[in-house]
Every structure is written in structure tokens, then in C-alpha cells.
Amino acid sequence: MTVITAAGSALAGNPFFKPYNTPYQTIPFNELKNEYYMPSFEEAMKQHRAEIEKIVNNPKPPTFENTIVALDKSGELLSKVASPFYNLLSAETTDEMQQIAEELSPKMTEHSNSIRLNEKLFARVKAVYEQKDKLKLTPEQQMLLKDTYDGFADNGANLSDADKDVYRELSKELSLLTLNYGQNVLKETNKYQLVITDKELLKGLPADVLDMLAENAQKAGKTGWLINMKATSYVPVMKYADNRDLRRELYMASASKCMVGGDYDNRENLVKIANLRLKIANLLGHKSYADYALVHRMAENKENVYDLLNKLLAAYKPAAEKEYAEVQAYADKNGAYFKVQPWDWSYYSEKLKAEKYELNDEMTKPYFELEKVKQGIFWLSNKLYGLKFTENPRIQVYNPEVKAYDVTDADGKFVAVFYADYHPREGKRAGAWMNDMKGQWMEGKKDSRPHIVNVMNFTRPTATKPALLTFDEMTTMLHEFGHALHGMLTKTNYRSLSGTNVYRDFVELPSQIMENWAVEKEFLDNFAVHYQTGEKMPAELIQKIKDADNFNIGYLALRQLSFALLDMKWHTLEQPFEGDAIAFEKEAMTPAQVLPAIENTAMSPTFSHIFSGGYAAGYYSYKWAEVLDADAYSQFQKNGIFDKKTAASFRKNILEKGGTEHPMVLYKRFRGQEPSIDALLKRNGIK
């Protein structure tokens, strides 16, 4: 293991420069201070540059070990500093951290460029790569060599000196723009507050939602009920509020975020981001950013992406149009004198679902107490993979709401640390995600195990009720835990190939397959008990959940397809965009549009997945992976949903392998064949 030292007394006492005296060397969050970050990053980059120089100046001929493996092992201190900083920037940010991030962004980009554009370093990498057929490497070593070479070639290493300078400037500008875009979305979301003082306006809302809104107001020093833009507030109001004007006001506020002027308007940012990505792709010899990005995806090219999207569009659009007509008919029957609009959809859909299946969220929520759901998911991971989760209060956490667990296998051997962070806060961005606090790799013969976090935004407990989840939230929890399993069970030699370091359109398979158990009675029976009576969820209610699983499936599919089409439209541009971004978006999404399009609303200014996340030219991967997960789960259905042999194969061939081989090779090794869309269409009742 590399020994990390601090240079100079200015860094004395800084926890980053000494071994962590914590369980499993977990991050000592209690010791971290904002003033430590910038000097730590600067020292870490300095040490990383020294490590690179050592590789470059090695007098021995370049080999796989002294160049490729040495590169993979370099930058340990930088990873040690960056991991808590960027995790907290998403889950526990402050104005001060955001200012640090803005100052840091160009420095980190320049640091990365100084490595990727280092001619002597690339010459060594290239020399090893050109010998690849003679080196007798394992498949994992072959993948590390390929990824390392491509990491240089795809980031400008083959460019002329003049073009390298252009690349440096473009990438620095892009890094800062994407950071600002994401911060604008968070700030605009946090800024919105609607205080209601007349309870009559909130008619239709369940008691627990009213309690939550009252607590929101109390915390803000207001009287009444406070609605914000967090999903825990916005979603139930859109679903249950009888007051149509209130629903419309909320919808318009949400759908026009970051596009109405002011400090947080993202319209200019998103166009600049799209055009910068195009410039970088052109500089690297590609017609569009999608052509550049898809080289390292299962889909391989934009033609294959559009082929899948168009097939799914043809399959699901008739169902979606039928569903819209059904919701409209239901609204008409119940006194509506208008065409159902986006702010009406959730409201009338929920009522139709309740009538059609005698099922609604308020019937299921009492059985989905957050703590019980978590224990149920732990039970499932034990049933499938023999894992055990034990809360460890000695592991420091970054917020009192976060819980940390020791994860062990069937033999009691340590597997990972798991952090669970489930409730919204001002400093946390919206959505749900998995990340690692520390990856996995081999240090000689020692397996350095990972530390994984799941972050979500579920309703907190109130004074009268524990935290209760909707069925969709329970499914989200399963989804993110699937990513966590991918991170926790990884078993690779090299850190850059471990866990979720896989092709973007493969990374959602381990997460989406977990959602299949959400409707299985044998799973629900083990945790779904009423929080007041302790009684198990009745079999007839479980059957209703199963029966309703495909309710509005066409609409939901088209919604995802519309996002994927928008992403591809922005990233298949072959000329710089100079038009109206909002009109451009409407054109992109029209083929998958079922609900009426609304003026002065747009997705692009807040589409963080593609403009500040890692899904640029990759949003289609949710549907791509859905095809994989339906096909893979059919194997469990065939052999038994808790079948140990099938689970062992999925663990060995998918979850443990990370990015050590091509995803299709891994998938076929598990499944015995390539996937088809048939299993998905059958699961959704389309075929």
C-alpha cells in the first residue's frame, strides 16, 4: 500500500494525510473540515504528477506492469480526497462547498488533461498496447489495457500540439458549465416554496401528507402548509389534490424551472454544453457526440440506439394512446369539462387505478414502513447471495440520519461497508443514486473491499407516523440497492474495472433486475406488515399490486422514450446549435408525446442526467437495460425466484465481474444466449 505523507506543516492534522483510524478505514467524517479540501486536492494532484513522472521516466522498457498497472494504482491520495468531497457535494452540500467545487473544477480538468495529453506517457501506453497480442494477458488484463489506451485516445492523446491546447480549453469550460448547470437545478429546486393557509385548498390530500406539509411550514417558521419542489411533497400533491388550480400552479413551477430568467436559468448553459461536446467530438474525429460516446457502449452506435427506441415506440405507443383515452373517459365520467392536461394526469390516473383495481398508495403505504422495507431487502440479498447486514455505530457518518452497516457473507467474511441515506435535506440534490465511498481492488494478495452508499429522498417520519413508502418508492429502493450489490460484490484486481465501472448501458441491469421482486408475494410476505397492527399484507392486496403492475405501462414507457429521444437529439447534432432550445426539445419529444404539450415548459433546463450527470447520449440505457433485466429475470422465473444456482451464476458472471470483460460476453455466460425484447413485451402485457 502506498504511504501518503503531508508536505509541510500547513497540512498537519489534516485527516487525509494519515491512515484512517476507523473501522475498515472508513472516512472519518467527523474530522473533515471545508478548509482541508483545497490544500488537500492541490497536494494530492502534486503527488499524482510525481507518480506519473516516475512512470514516464522509468528507464526500463514499457510493460503491462510498470506502465498500465502502475497507472491504475496511481492517484491514491487524489481518490482519497475526492471521494468524500464529491459524495458530500451531492448529498450534504453547502454554499462553501459549491464555491470550492467551482474553484476546483478547472484545476481538476487541467490535472486530468496533463496526464491524458502527456506524449511520453502515451508513448509508453501505446507501446504496450501494440504488443497486446503477444503478451498472453488474462481477459481482465486485456480489458484494462484496452480501457487505458482508449482513455488516452478518446481524450486527445493523438491530437496535434495545437489541437491539444484547444482540447484543454474546451474540456475545462465544459467541466465548469456542467457543474454550474447542476448547481442551478439544486438552487432553483430549493428556492421554491408555496405556503397554503386555507386547508380547503388541500382537500383530497391524505392525512400523512398534510402532516408532512405542516412540518415543512413549521421548520420554515411559517403558519399553514408548505409545498416545495422535492418529490416527497410535489408528487403526492399532484396525485391527490382536488384543487386543479393548485395542481396547475405546481406543475408550471416545476416544468419551467431554470428557464424563466434570473440567476439559475440554464437555457444558455445547456446549449453551450451541447455545442462544447460537439466541438470535442469533432476535434477527436467524430461527426457527433453520440458517435464519440457510443463507441464504448453495448449499443455501439446511434443506429442501434434508434433501432431499439423505434421498436419500443411502435410497440408501446398504441397502448399509451389507449391509456390516455381511458383516463380521459374516466375524467369525463367524473365531471371533467376539459381535455386532460399534464397537471391532471397523476390525479385522474390514481383515481382510475383505485377504481379499476381497488388499489391506491394509501392502501399499500401502511405496509411499506421504511425500516421494514430495508430489512426486507437485506433479507432478499441474504436469500439470493448469503449476505448479512449489521449496523455498526462505530462507523462515522456524514449526517445523523445516515446508517452504516457491516456486510458479511454466508461464511461471516467481511464483504463491504454499506451506508444508507434515505431522507431529503436542503443540501441534497433530488433523486436517488448509488455511489462508492471507496472502490474495490487487490493490493497484492489482499482484497481491499468497497464502501458503498445508497442516497434517496423519501418522506421522513412525522410526529404520528413512521416513514411510509409508496409502492414506487419501495421499487426505487430495490433499484438502488441493485446498484449497491453491484458495488459491494465486485471482485476484481484493478480499481478502474471494479463495481459499476462498466458500459453505461449495462450498469442498469443489476439495478433494474431487482425491481422484479417488488411484485412477488414470497418476497413481500417477509417484511410487508401493517405498521400499526403488525398484520401481513393480505394476499388479495398483493394480487392487486401484481394485477396493477402494468397499469399505464404504455404511458410510462413513452415517457422514458421521450427522454431518450431528447438526449439523442441533443447529442446527434452535427452542426453547432443556434436555434430555440425549447422548440428543438418539443420537436425531439413529439414522436413519444401522448399528453398535450404545454407552452413555456421544458425538460432540457433541468435534465441533470444528461447535462450534468453521466448519461449524455446514454439515457436510452434505461430501456436497453430493461430488455436485459426482463430477459435475465425470466431465468429466475424459470428456475425459482430465490434459486441459489441462478443467483450464484448472476453473482459470478455479472455482479462480481465489474468491467473486466465485454458486457455481452458476461451476459451470455449467465443467460446462455443474447437477449431479445420479447421477455420485456411479455412482462408488460404488450405481447
pLDDT interval class at 12 (50, 70, 90): low
pLDDT at 256: 97
Q: Whole-angstrom Cα distance, residue 413 to residue 246?
A: 54
CA 263 to centroid of chain Cα atoms: 26
Whether pLDDT at 343 is above 50: yes
Rounded alpha-carbon distances, angstroms, from residue 530 to 23, 363, 368, 376, 472 = 36, 10, 8, 14, 18
Q: Whole-angstrom Cα distance, residue 304 to residue 290?
A: 12
Return the bridge partners of 468, or none: 369
Q: Whole-angstrom Cα distance, residue 350 to residue 356?
A: 10
Strand 388-391, strand 225-227: pairing: unpaired
Whether pLDDT at 312 is above 90: yes
Q: Whole-angstrom Cα distance, residue 441 to residue 73?
A: 9
- pLDDT (tens digit, 9 = 90+) per residue, 79-105? 999 999 999 999 999 999 999 999 999
Whether pLDDT at 10 is above 80: no
Active site residues: 480
Burial class (CB in 10 A: 0-12, 13-18, 19+), 248: middle
The mean per-residue pLDDT over the stretch 258-278 comes to: 96
Q: Please state the pTM of the whole predicted model.
A: 0.93
The mean per-residue pLDDT over the stretch 259-270 comes to: 95
Whether pLDDT at 2 is above 80: no
304 C-beta neighbours (distance < 10 Å), count: 16
Average pLDDT, the chain: 95
Return the bridge partners of 447, or none: 442
Q: Whole-angstrom Cα distance, residue 477 to residue 315?
A: 28
Whether pLDDT at 14 is above 70: yes
pLDDT at 687: 84
Q: Whole-angstrom Cα distance, residue 155 to residue 118?
A: 11
pLDDT at 9: 46
Whether the CA torsion 335, 341, 347, 353 is positive or negative: it is: positive
Whether pLDDT at 4 is above 70: no
pLDDT interval class at 462 (50, 70, 90): confident
Q: How far apart are the first and last CA of the chain?
A: 55
- Counting residues of the chain whose pLDDT is more than 90, the rounded percentage is 95
- pLDDT (tens digit, 9 = 90+) per residue, 346-382? 999 999 999 999 999 999 999 999 999 999 999 999 9
Radius of gyration of the chain from its Cα atoms, rounded to whole angstroms: 25
Return the bridge partners of 369, or none: 468
Whether pLDDT at 125 is above 90: yes
Q: Whole-angstrom Cα distance, residue 509 to residue 655?
A: 10
pLDDT interval class at 3 (50, 70, 90): very low
pLDDT at 488: 98
pLDDT interval class at 1 (50, 70, 90): very low
Indicate the residue type of 552: N
Q: Whole-angstrom Cα distance, residue 279 to residue 288?
A: 9
- Counting residues of the chain whose pLDDT is more than 70, the rounded percentage is 98
Whether pLDDT at 542 is above 80: yes
Rounded alpha-carbon distances, angstroms, from residue 28 to 19, 43, 435, 585 = 10, 19, 17, 45
Q: Which runs of consecutive H residues, i.e. helices, occur in 11-94?
A: 34-56, 70-73, 76-91
